[in-house]
Amino acid sequence: MVVLTKQHQHYQLKTKNVQLIRTQQHNYLLLNLLYEIFKAPMSLPAYYYLSIDYLILTLQALSIFGNGFIICLFVLFKRLRRNISLRLLWLLCCTDWVFAVSALPYIIYYITHWDPNVFDYSPRMIITSGSPLIIQFKVNLVVTIAIAVDRLQAMRMPVYYREKRQMLYVWMTLLVGLLTGAIDTAIMFLTTFFDRHVYNCAAIGCFQNAEFRAYWGISNMFLNSIALLLTIWFAYELNGFKNKNPVRLNVREQKTLAQANRLSFGILLISMVFMLIPSVFVGIVDLTRMDVFKKVGPFYIVGLLFSGVSNSVIYITLHVELRKAASAICRGILQTESSSTVHPAAKKKIIHFLCNFLLMVGLSGLLVPLSALTWMPMVVEGCFGAAQSQMAQLKAQLGGDIEIDLSTLNPLIKYPSLLGQFKISYPCDLNCKSFDGLGTPICRWRNEWTTCSMMGDELDWIRARNSWGRDEGQTIFGTEETASHCYILVGSQQKLPDTSAALLVSDPVQCQEGDGTLKFRFWTSPKTEIRVCTRKPGMGKYYDWCSCPITKGDPGPIAVVIPGSIMTTFEIVIEASHFSFDAFGVQGGIVIIDDITYDAPAVYNCRYIPHVDPPIPIAVDTCKTLYCTFDDGRCLDRIHGSGWRVSKEPTGNMHTGIRTVHDESFAYSKGVGTKTLRFGKFVMARDGLLEFCYYIATRDVFLKVYSKRAEFQRSMMFQSEGINLRPHYWICRQMVLHAGAYESLEFIAEDVPNGYAYIGLDGIRLLDPQNYQDMCTEQLNPNPNPAFIPYPIDQPETIASPFTNSTSPTNDIFSEVSEGEADPIAIGVDDALPLELDNNGNTLESFDSFHHRRRVEGRPIIKINKLKIEKKGYQVRKHNQTDNFVGLKELPKRRDRP
C-alpha cells in the first residue's frame, strides 16, 4: 500500500474540516427553515382561511353582478345619467365593479396554492396581485369624502350647487383617488422585501413592510376621520332638512334631493362600518406590534367587497328612480318616471343588450373563480390514447398487470395552464413520485403542447400503474426490475422520425445556484434516447443546454448534473426521442420514467458559482509507473542495474554525503560516471505536475531529467542548480508533464566527476496543476477513506484509450457529485531554504514559528534534524571505510511524512 505524504495528510485533514463545516451549514439552514415554519404556526385551522377565500370569491361574484346591474341601469336610462346628484354614486359603483374584477387573480392565487400543512406564498405575486386593493381603498375613501361634501353643498348652498360643474367635480375626485392610490402602491413596492418568505399567513399585510403598514394605516385613519366628521355633520343637516325651505327649489327638486340625501347617507354609513372600523383597528394594532393579519386573515378585502355589495343593494332600496328602473327591467317594460314608453323594436334590442351584459358580468364573477379551483386538463389524444385496441396492444407488448391509469378520468399528464405556471419555491417542489394520481400530491411536471413545429412536441406522456411482465421487461428494457404504483410512459407502435419527441417540462425555476442534480429511474427500449435539457420558459425545443443521450443503465437511477449557476428563469425538460426501431416485426419504441427528484443549493436569490468540469482522472498504470517513494512497488524493480541504490538512513560522509532522510526510503547515486533511473511508457490524459525531491551537497554535480514523447525527440526537462553555502537539505521541484504518450522518463546523475559525490532522490509523484492535489490518491488506494475523496466511491470507471492516448470516464456527464466535496486547497511549492543557524549551530527560530512562516509563504516545510557535533575537545577516531558515521550520533528515523 502506498504511504501518503505529510502534505497529503494535511490536505485530507483540511478537506475533512471543510466537509464538516459545510455539513454543519447545511444542517443549520435546514433547522433555520424548520424554525421559521414552526415558530409561527397557523393561529387558526387552515380550512378557516380556505373558507375566507371562498367567502371573498362569493362577495366578488355578488359585487360584479350587483354593481354591473346598476351600471346597466345608468347606461340604459338617460334620466338617471342626467341626475347630477347620482353621478358620484355612479362613479363609486364603477370603481367597486372594477375592483371586484381586478382582484380575482389575488384570491385565485391564494386558493390554488393553499396547503393544509403550511402556507408559503410568493411575496412578489401577493404584492403585485394585491395592488388593486391598495388603490381601491384610497379611491373609495376619496369618493366617500367627495359624496359627503357634495351633499353638504346641496343642503347648505343650493344656489352654488346648481351652478357647480358637476362632471368636473366627478373627474377631479377620480383623479385625486387614483393619484393617492398610485402613491401608496409605489411606496409599497419600494419598501417590500421580495426575497423574504412569510410562512402560515394568508393576507397581504404579512408581506408588507412594517413602516408601510404604519403609514398606510395612519393615512387611512386620517381620511376616515375626515369622512366620519363629514358624515356626522351630514346627518345633523339631514335631520333638519325637512324643516327648512330651500330657496329656488321646487317640490320635485326637493323630492329628488331628499332621495339623493338618503342614498348618500346610507353609503356613508356603510363606508364607516366596513372601512373606518378596519382602518382604526389596524392602526391601533400596528402600534401594539400585534400580528393581526396572520391571526385574522385578509379582512381588508373582505371589508371593501362587503361595502361594494351593500352599496349595490342600497342603490335599489333607497332611490325611487333606480328602483322603478329595476322593476321595469324585471317586468320587461322599460318605463321612466314620466310614463313615456320606448318603441317595441328598440325595447327588444335594449333588453337583449342588457341580458348579454348581465351574462358577461355573471360569467366573469362566477365561472372564472370556479375555473381556478379545478384543474381541467385538455383532452387530447397521445401515443397510447383511450382506444381499446391500443390499450390491448400495449398490454400484449408489456404483459403483466400494466394498465392506463383512468382514476382521474384523464390519463394524460396535464398541459400548461392558460394563466401561466408558478415558479417553484424549493428544489423539492420538483420531486414527483406518482404524477398526479388520484389521492397523491401535486406533481410540478407537465406535457408540452403538441404541435408540428419546434415550439412543441409530437407525443404525450401518459400515466400508467401496476407492473409489467418481468420476461417482457427483460426482452424490451434489458432488466427484470419494474416500476410500481403510478409512473409515466410514452411511445409509438410505428416507426417515427428521430426528431419526434415527447417533452416532460417542469414548472419554472427562478435560478439555480451552482450545479443542480436531476435524478430519475428510466426504462428505454432499443434505439430510444432520453436527454435532460434546460430552456427559457415556453421556448419549445430551443434549448440552452442538453446532456448527452441516455441509452444504457436501465433502470437507473441516473443522476444528471445540470451545470450552474443559472441566473435567469428556466425550465427543466426531459426529452424522449428516437422511436425509430424497425426489426423483427416490431416498430417504434417505448420510454418509461419514474421517481423524479431535483436538488440544488438554492433556487431563489442565487449566488453565482461557476461550473467546473470534473478533471479527467489519470490512468492507474500511469500512477503506478510514476509514483515512487522507494518503499515498495515498481520503484525497487527499476533500481536494479541502474547504478542507483536505496537507503533508509543517512549515508555518505558529513561533507558530501546525505545527512537527512526525506521520507523513510530514498534512492541515491555515488561516485563518478553517469547513472540513469528510467521510467517506462505511460500516458498523461491531461497536463500534470511531476514533483520530486533531490539532495546534492557537492559542487559541479547535477541531476537532470529527460523525457521522450511519442513522435518527439528526447529532450531535457530539468537540471538542478548549483549548491550554496549550506547545501545539506532536500530540495523539492516541480515540472510540467503535458498531456500525451511518453516513451520514457529518466532521472540521470550525468558525468559526475567526484568519487565522493552523492545525489539523493525521493518523493516522485503527480500533482494537479490547479489545486496541487495528488492526482494518484484514488488510483493507488484500493480502500480510500470516503471522507477524504472528492468524488463518490461509485463514480464511473475510467478507461484509458490506446487510440487517443488519453483517459475519459465512461459516463462522466451523469456521475453523481458528492455533496461534501471540498474546495481545492492550493499548496504552493517553492524554493526551500534551511533553518537559520547561529555560530554555535543552534537555530535562530523555533520550528513552530518556522512552520508557520513557511506555510504563510506557500512553501513546503522541510524539517532538518540537526547533527550534534562537539566542537571542543573532540578526538579523531579510526573507523572503517564502509561506516562513514562512526563517532557521530545516529539520527532518529522519521515516521511522519512531509
- Which grid cell sits at 816? 453523481
Is it the case that residue 627 has pLDDT exceeding 60? yes
Residue 287, pLDDT score: 55
774 SS3 class: strand
Return the minimum-mean-pLDDT range out of 109-118, 525-534, 591-600. 109-118
Mean pLDDT calculated for residue range 421-425: 89
Is it the case that residue 118 has pLDDT exceeding 90? no
Return the minimum-mean-pLDDT range out of 57-61, 419-423, 809-813. 809-813
Q: Give exposure, 406-417, as e/b (b: 16+ Cβ within 10 Å).
A: eebebbbbbbbe
| CB within 8 Å of 322: residues ≥ 6 apart | 70, 73, 80, 315, 316
Q: What is the pLDDT of residues 532-570, one digit of tens each?
A: 999 999 888 999 999 999 988 889 899 999 998 999 999
Is it the case that residue 865 has pLDDT exceeding 50? no
- Which grid cell sits at 897? 511524512
Mean pLDDT calculated for residue range 211-229: 80
3-state helix, strand, coil in the chain (%, to 5): 40, 20, 40
Q: What is the pLDDT of residues 687-725, one digit of tens each?
A: 999 999 999 999 889 999 999 988 888 999 999 988 887
Return the minimum-mean-pLDDT range out of 59-63, 522-526, 701-705, 833-837. 833-837
What's the CA gap between 666 and 456, in Å, rounded? Answer: 67
Q: What is the pLDDT of residues 769-806, one digit of tens each?
A: 888 888 888 777 755 443 333 333 333 333 333 333 33
- Write the secondary structure of 714-750 as one string of H (helix), E (strand) and C (coil): CEEEEECCCCCCCCCCCEEEEEEECCEEEEEEEEEEE
Query: 177: pLDDT confidence band, cut at 50, 70 and 90?
Result: confident
Mean pLDDT of the chain: 73
What's the CA gap between 896 and 732, in Å, rounded? Answer: 17
Q: What is the pLDDT of residues 226-260, one digit of tens each?
A: 877 887 787 777 666 555 545 444 555 555 556 66
Residue 252, pLDDT score: 54
Residue 789, pLDDT score: 32
Closest CA to 141 of 104, 184, 106: 184
Residue 612, pLDDT score: 82
Is it the case that residue 445 has pLDDT exceeding 60? yes
432 SS3 class: strand
Query: 426: pLDDT confidence band, cut at 50, 70 and 90?
Result: very high
In the chain, % of residues over pLDDT 90: 20
Is it the case that residue 384 has pLDDT exceeding 60? no
Best-predicted range by mean pLDDT (500-504, 537-541, 828-832, 893-897): 500-504
Residue 14, pLDDT score: 52
Bigger pLDDT: 809 vs 694: 694
12 touches 73 (CB < 8 A): no
Residue 777, pLDDT score: 82
Going along the chain from its start, the domains and CATH numbers come out as: 61-373 (1.20.1070.10), 388-599 (2.60.120.200), 620-830 (2.60.120.200)
Residue 286, pLDDT score: 56
Return the minimum-mean-pLDDT range out of 659-663, 776-780, 850-854. 850-854
Is it the case that residue 860 has pLDDT exceeding 50? no
pTM of the complete model = 0.41
Closest CA to 784 of 20, 17, 22, 12: 12
Best-predicted range by mean pLDDT (46-60, 399-413, 882-896): 46-60
Is it the case that residue 409 has pLDDT exceeding 70? no
> Could you tell me the CA-to-CA distances from 385 to 150, 375, 381, 485, 785 in Å, in that order?
67, 20, 5, 20, 53
| Beta-ladder partners of 799 | 808
What's the CA gap between 30 and 93, in Å, rounded? Answer: 50
Bigger pLDDT: 847 vs 311: 311
Is it the case that residue 759 has pLDDT exceeding 90? yes
Is it the case that residue 826 has pLDDT exceeding 80? no
Q: Walk across the sheet containing 545-546 and list its strands.
A: 445-447, 501-506, 571-577, 529-535, 545-546
Bigger pLDDT: 392 vs 869: 392
Residue 829, pLDDT score: 34
423 touches 510 (CB < 8 A): yes
Residue 89, pLDDT score: 78
Mean pLDDT calculated for residue range 338-366: 50
